Structure 1
């Protein structure tokens, strides 16, 4: 523990970075910036060259469920900025000659070695065929979705939006997954999602929720992990 200027010792609380609210910056933005500066996962991502702290959510989910293995084909929906694609690429052994990871997003992304990045809205009708073509005609073993719908500030509305987005992602996964495959998606606790769960239970052998340590404790986000795709 570090010493304070007067010779005493500083507590961990004292060592945290505090951000003053500047002119033109909202309180919420100030609190977000302060949280970012004090977030160990943000610092770790910066030090290890990861594109976002979210990369460690996938790493921790993989440690718990054994999701990723060498040679498997992975699809990353809403991939920007590419943190999950980075993690997957490092484990499955994707290369430019044999690409095994495909990220899809309507936002621009910087290239990732061995990863095919499609600038595309995954909800468009031709997206599944385009993605399978990018994987050399093969279906995927794992479909990932760390997407979150834009928020309105109205809790019930925002929950319905994220559930609808997950339903779209699940429908996409059902079209592109190989039998036995896995689908992972971010959801938010609260409200009803029984239709979504019924859809997943119909198409997958097991479904469960998980909250990795990298997911902030104050956040309502959790992840649905559906394994053992039954095949269409």
Structure 2
């Protein structure tokens, strides 16, 4: 009887040992694999969120400017004009700035040709402004700096830009600066102020934008208004 009991215990012990080995070598790794967590990469959503924020910020800036224009008694839809330089620049959609410059130059030539065929009373519409590469700023070799391209757009009722210096900046950063301008009847900028809530905090960028805005000139007022308020938006793009 005792020998039988010992035999049973030995058999049970062997089976338990086999089961334990199976648990350790087969079942446990599978459980560990099932318990592994998954990491989702949301980094691709960052550009979309950034673009949405930029669009919302620009919309808010335009609404403020339109409100200022209404308060100043300016009528009509504000026109938006774009000036670009000929640096090798590509945006997030892969647009080639060289091709963009060539297209702008071609449109400008067509525009001038059309203007020659019109009488002074027929002249109107948007102006095409293309940056002159000679206006690029030469970096100071004794100063750590970064030179990048810039793009500007302006909104000033039915006035056209007759001289719009585009700053080729020597700053380390990139960003956007909106300058609120007041223009007299002759087209001179008599007041320029940065719109802080929608502009970059980079002092270097702000200085370049403010200086360029103060040097800008526009066409004379067709309505005889003594003053008109508008804005110039400078986009400084890092290469």
TM-score normalized by structure 2?
0.30
Greater helix fraction, Structure 1 or Structure 2? 2
- Greater relative contact order (CA < 8 Å, ≥ 6 in sequence): 2
Between structure 1 and structure 2, the one with the greater Rg is 2
